[in-house]
Structure 1
Amino acid sequence: MAEFPICISESQRELARLTKEEHLSAEKKAKAPKKAAKAKPKPMLGGLLMVNRMKMWRQHRERVKQAISTVDAEAPHFQAARITGVNSLRDEAQVFLKRTKANIQLLVEISRTMRTHGAINPFRYEIVHAVSGIPVALLGLEQLEKDNRDFGRRILEVKSEVDSGLLEKRMPEGRNTATATPLELPPQAMAKYEAFNIPLPESDDELRRLFRPRIYFDLYLKDARPLGRIVIQLYTEAAPLVVLQMIKSCMCNQHTKFLVKRLFPHLWLETDLLLAADSLLHQPLEYDAKVIDHGASSYVLSFSKDYVKGFTHHLSFSISFKPLTVVNGSRVGFGRIVKGSKICECIQSYGTKNGKLSRGLVFTSCGLL
């Protein structure tokens, strides 16, 4: 038996060692002197084995708790974003918001195009492109007429170096004298000046320049495009001081003093002309309200009879868009638009019911024809 020892496990060896220690401690207690007190009962061998097994079991539990597994036993990770599709939902929401913003901007630009009648500003570009070629054609036509007039003036100034023996024949002075009819002034309006013995010009051209002067204004749609030129014929006998102030301002090209205040579509346009402190319009005015009939034609320049005692800081006048018979007797007409009625029809789309301008109207130039 000694030559062939039995192979036992570590737990069995530990159990045998603990059992041996218990036997030795029991023998030592037996050899000790007995006391007078009642001796304790000796533990049984089976009880010692049970105690040792419990101690070994606790040690085993501690070793098991501290054991580290060499195999990856963790559960696989749960990819919630891939299964639920949260990332794709975020991308779809951003695409939807971008598309909605682009559609709103497109609708705003379409509305602006419809309101400007020819000038568009698409959201893809910053430069304003004019859809209609009419403004460019009108500018080219005006430039062509100006070049023709300059060319004709140079031809008239040419003098021949050869004596042809013919008498020099020149065109009579005046504007369109071949077709223009002589100016006939209303006798009722001129009768009140007979007592003053005012000498009047004899030529028809001078009479027209005095009693029917013409001025012009160039209109510009703010932040958009030029609208064109309107030509106004003034009636001197209707309000002499008012006509004189208009001519002075236009001769000096004081277009910045003309301000568009309100615009009522299909009714009239209100404009103010800033006055100097020493202007004659601060005094009572001479006027004749019967010179122009407001119900006979459209595009009449007039001011209210409330200002016949004098204007305060500015000359306030209006331009009617249609015949207004109802204002006869309450307003004084002193001018009428003879060229540029299409421009007056166009600017009516930039007014509102309460007179507030949806787009600014600016006078860029003015002068005397």
Structure 2
Amino acid sequence: MPILVHPRLSEKKRKESLQNYKNMIVEAKPRVVDMSPKLNVRNVLRASSLRDDCEAFERVRRMNNELLRSINIISRIGGKLDTFREKLFYSARSRIPYMILKNRHIEKDNAKFGQLLKTTGTTLDTHMAPHLLRQVRKDTVEFVIPAQILAKYKQIEMPPYEQLRRLLRPVIYFDFYVKGLRPAGRIVIQLYTEACPQVVLAFVRACRNRDKNNILVNRLFPGLWLDCCLLLPEGHKIKPNRIEYDIRALDHNRPGTLSLSLDNLEALNQNALKFSMSLKPLSVLNGKRVAFGLARSGTKVLDSMQVFGMKKSGKLTKSIIISDIGLLV
């Protein structure tokens, strides 16, 4: 096709006109769509129509079976129908309401039986010598005020003996619950004020106010310890550089020992007190961590919760929460 160029145009204008014409040819698009139309799978396979046809066929088949059954009955009785039925037909009922009601009665009976067990005593005569019977274990260690504590407060007039014992040896409890599974049980803990006074005071305040949501269970290492965290209120913040402790007050020679690491005191700047509860005697920690509490009862509760922790990472397979806390003494 010949290219018409005006003779009076300069060489530069001719080249621009030629380039514009080439670009127009390249960018030209056809007006006719040459692509094949898209096919809808539903229209080709007629899946919905096939389903309707199958349902209609099944409905007709059931009707034919009923009709054949009626014709068979009529042919056998000679066309006479007896409308009086000797047996009554009952529709099937669900057993779920009955089972729910039965479970409620069982729960009430279990609650009454549990209350009875708390108040009952043994009357069985085993004809055994008194020294062979199992004796109730009692704490025979008499409470003695540590001399190093009294030396710190010589200028203060000490309260009476019973009141001083309550101040230096408060007793608290934690009720553990495995979320979505079952209650784990109660752990009774005796705190040692001379080990870390500020930390013991924070626990006593939380247990007295029943702030169960302020104690979190973070990790559990089976056979080692349980990592927890106590959230401190804004008005009772503990400064890490002013915390007082005595690392010799209590050892880690028994399971259920509450302790804190001096390396994790920086968390106190975020009003979080990180502590751990040992699952077995860890004498290797003596002199390295500050022990400030000891479980008086409930160590079996710790043993039962060890299956819900991972050994290497300590990640909880089931969430463990503290359902209730309180101050006993």
Whether TM exceeds 0.5 here: the answer is: yes
| Residue aligning to 1:192 | 152
Offset, 1:187: 1.8
Deviations 1:249-297 (A, max 9, x none): 0111100111100000000000001122332313520110100011x22
Offset, 1:198: 2.1
* Alignment partner of 2:322 out of 363, 366, 369: 363
- 5+ residue gaps, structure 1, are 1-124, 149-177
Cα distance in 1 between the residues matched to 2:304 and 2:186:
12
| Residue aligning to 2:114 | 140
Q: Secondary structure at the match of 1:337?
A: strand
CA gap of 1:359–1:186, structure 2 versus 1, over 3 A, is: same
Q: Secondary structure at the match of 1:301?
A: strand
What does 1:212-251 align with in structure 2 at a 5 Å threshold? Answer: 212-251=169-208
CA gap of 1:310–1:237, structure 2 versus 1, over 3 A, is: farther
Cα distance in 2 between the residues matched to 1:366 and 1:242:
16
CA gap of 1:349–1:190, structure 2 versus 1, over 3 A, is: farther
Cα distance in 2 between the residues matched to 1:261 and 1:179:
32
Deviations 1:330-359 (A, max 9, x none): 210100110101101101111111100011
Cα distance in 2 between the residues matched to 1:289 and 1:254:
28
% identical equivalent positions: 42
CA gap of 1:232–1:143, structure 2 versus 1, over 3 A, is: farther
| Residue aligning to 2:303 | 345
Write the letter of the residue equivalent to 1:306. D
Write the letter of the residue equivalent to 1:343. V
Q: Secondary structure at the match of 1:292?
A: coil
1:320 and 2:281 are equivalent in the alignment: no
Tell me how many residue pairs correspond in the alignment.
205
1:279 and 2:236 are equivalent in the alignment: yes
CA contact 2:212–2:325 (8 Å) conserved in 1: yes
Higher relative contact order (CA 8 A, sep 6+): 2
CA contact 1:281–1:310 (8 Å) conserved in 2: no
Write the letter of the residue equivalent to 1:262. R
- 5+ residue gaps, structure 2, are 1-98, 122-137
Write the letter of the residue equivalent to 2:321. V
RMSD: 3.2
| Residue aligning to 1:201 | 159
Cα distance in 2 between the residues matched to 1:199 and 1:224:
51
Q: Which runs of 4+ in 1 moved over 4 A?
A: 178-182, 307-310
Cα distance in 1 between the residues matched to 2:172 and 2:322:
13
* Higher gyration radius (CA): 1
Cα distance in 2 between the residues matched to 1:207 and 1:141:
35
| Residue aligning to 2:83 | none
TM-score, length basis structure 1: 0.50
| Residue aligning to 1:154 | none
Offset, 1:307: 4.5
What does 1:39-54 align with in structure 2 at a 5 Å threshold? Answer: none
Write the letter of the residue equivalent to 1:250. C
Offset, 1:322: 1.4
CA contact 1:301–1:319 (8 Å) conserved in 2: yes
1:335 and 2:309 are equivalent in the alignment: no
CA contact 2:260–2:291 (8 Å) conserved in 1: yes
CA contact 1:271–1:318 (8 Å) conserved in 2: yes
* Alignment partner of 2:247 out of 283, 289, 295: 289
